[in-house]
Amino acid sequence: MANGDPIQVIAGFSLTNRWLLYASLMLTPAQALSGVGSQAPTNIGFLAYNYYQQYLWYTAAKSKQIHALALLPTYLDLIYAVTYLGGIPAGNVPMGILLGLGTAGLLLMNTITAWIALKTNLPEGDGVYQFFFFGWRTLSKGWRRLMTMWQVFDTLTVVVAVIGSIVLGVIIPLNVDEDDVDDSEFKTLRDTAIFWGSALVLVCLGWPLILWIELIVKRNNIVSETDMIAVYLFVAQVAAMILPGIVGFIWKKLSGLFHWRERAWTRKEVEPRGSLAK
């Protein structure tokens, strides 16, 4: 299959789109910490990007324009049950509930897509789709039975994650106060999360997923055009995550400068009056 003609699938699964998908996954810890105690909607970009990703997966599976990538939603269902929870933290309960419900919707969408791919796309791949599992394997009815069992487990996990996402949307804002957010250790942890968090996700979850996806794409000779809307939404996700912190830092510095100048002017006005009194 790898030496055959390229298999064109629906736009949105090009190398660029895939690496943005991996990058979004790596940013999960930074995304979560940016929302803790924040009154700004830092996680809205995260939800917007991932909702569009789920739309692409659903459309591709529904229209059967996904080919061997239909092997992936079941794997992603398990990964997302953990990483999507990073989009929940917020600084107030109404925003937390909104993000919790949004996260629950994402989890359900991916589960629906996974079942569609399993029931309508994978049967067409028997004897055709190839994937790596301790050596190269070709999809068959036996492998599909195994994936069905895997998807049942994923679905049960997602049910728990859906309930947990709504509960976390309420619990996190109620249990985090300004003192926690202003703590220097928390600030250091949050400000460096892009680096240590990305490395943590890559080591614990990311590299097997990335390797498996790229091997499937290469082995089955899959090609796709770049979906630019996904690119723009990823940029918006990163901007929504980091801009509130940058603006807050600048505002704090400017406020300190204004207060310093105000105190300086006050001293200048007081000192001459004091000298005249003498």
> Is 136 part of a structural domain of the chain?
yes
Tell which residue, 95, 100, 76, 223, has the closest CA to residue 151.
76
Domain that holds residue 90: 8-251
pLDDT in tens, 236-262: 888 888 876 665 556 565 666 655 555
> Is 277 part of a structural domain of the chain?
no
Give residue 153's pLDDT. Answer: 93
DSSP state at residue 11: S
> Is 21 part of a structural domain of the chain?
yes
Give residue 259's pLDDT. Answer: 59
89, 163 Cβ separation under 8 angstroms: no
* Residue 166 structure tokens: 């709504």
pLDDT in tens, 100-131: 999 999 999 999 999 999 998 888 888 899 98
Tell which residue, 241, 236, 235, has the closest CA to residue 32.
241
Give residue 1's pLDDT. Answer: 45
- Angle at which helix 15-26 crosses helix 193-201, to 10 degrees, equals 110
> Is 27 part of a structural domain of the chain?
yes
Total domains in the fold of the chain: 1
> Is 272 part of a structural domain of the chain?
no
Give residue 156's pLDDT. Answer: 94
17, 214 Cβ separation under 8 angstroms: no
Indicate the burial class of 212 (C-beta count within 10 angstroms; 0-12, 13-18, 19 or more).
middle
> Is 266 part of a structural domain of the chain?
no
> Is 268 part of a structural domain of the chain?
no
> Is 265 part of a structural domain of the chain?
no
113, 64 Cβ separation under 8 angstroms: no
128, 139 Cβ separation under 8 angstroms: yes
Give residue 44's pLDDT. Answer: 86
> pLDDT under 70 in the chain at which residues?
1-4, 244-278
Q: Can you tell me whether residue 137 is helix, strand or coil?
A: strand
